[in-house]
Structure 1
């Protein structure tokens, strides 16, 4: 294979740099995917909080989305579009922004993505 021969002919330090870059990229990719999953879980929990004792069927009667879809979103079993979240908010009779009122430190998350360490004494929002 031509590709493998080219890689093998590179100096060790260059190969090591490529390897470290690859590992860092995969680590960041995993961290991003983990954080995305965490955010989805928090949004699902928030929908359940807003739902309270109201049944998915009663919520669905007030919007254009099926009870099963609402349940799947609230139980973090499916990805959904923004339009679905807006419909769920409509069914819950809340402003859509309330669905996104979750306890997640986005500033810290973005700082980590950008490779900036956050000052431990700074205020969290």
Structure 2
């Protein structure tokens, strides 16, 4: 069920995300800061980021930020765009996205393993 969080709250939340191939691990002191505020500069580097900002400017934030076990699992690009556009309250959900292209794989901190949500990737033969 969708709910809202403020941008300030989301910026201080940890992102289950990657920077240069490294994933946030809560018990690894060698890992960089993976609060959302720290990963946003990396998200803004993607070539398609300006198109996302323009889409959100035109249509609003249509896809909620996915929060799983207190971590942002999908939505850091949208959070960056919301910050750039001055959006202070964002829609969020605890439910996995239906779109397999959105967030297909999620890291479980409990099991320290990747799991698929709602689909199984097809092997390219």
The TM-score with structure 2 as length reference comes to 0.23
Relative contact order, CA 8 A, sep 6+: which one is greater? 2
Q: Which structure shows the bigger proportion of residues in strand conformation? A: 2
Q: Which structure shows the bigger proportion of residues in helix conformation? A: 1
